Amino acid sequence: MPDYVKAKLAADEVLTVLGEERVKRDGKDKFTYVILRPGILSDEKETGLVELGKTRARASVTRGDVADVAVRLLEVGGVNGWIDLVNGTEPVQQAVERVVREGINAREGEDIGIMKANMA
């Protein structure tokens, strides 16, 4: 894995551990966190169409679509966890509403205990 990918994953894990601890302490209604995990960034014109939630690996996404999704996730609130993002076929607003409604977290299966141990 390239060094920058390792560094991004390490940062994601630290923020996840801290975010989960805060949610546990304060409750989901008082604190939420989002770790947006875009695919390979492209400089192409935004499409307004994405695959959001838990996505396939090695796909790209426009920088404009990343910005649009980030703003909409922050506006709606109620999201906790890792949200993968690549360009796809679902309109951005619809994808954001679905992820929130279904409580999607792409971190499923990842061990918080191991993440915490890695922080040491």
Q: How many distinct structural domains can be found in the chain?
A: 1
Model pLDDT for residues 100-112, shown as the tens digit of each residue = 999 999 998 889 9
Task: Give the global pTM.
Answer: 0.88
Model pLDDT for residues 20-63, shown as the tens digit of each residue = 999 999 988 888 899 999 999 999 999 999 999 998 767 999 99
Model pLDDT for residues 85-99, shown as the tens digit of each residue = 999 999 999 999 999
Predicted local confidence at residue 28, as pLDDT: 83
Residues 29, 31: Cα–Cα separation, whole Å: 6
SS (H, E, C) 70-90: HHHHHHHCCCEEEEEEEECCE
**The residue type at 61:** V
State which residues form the domain around 44: 3-119
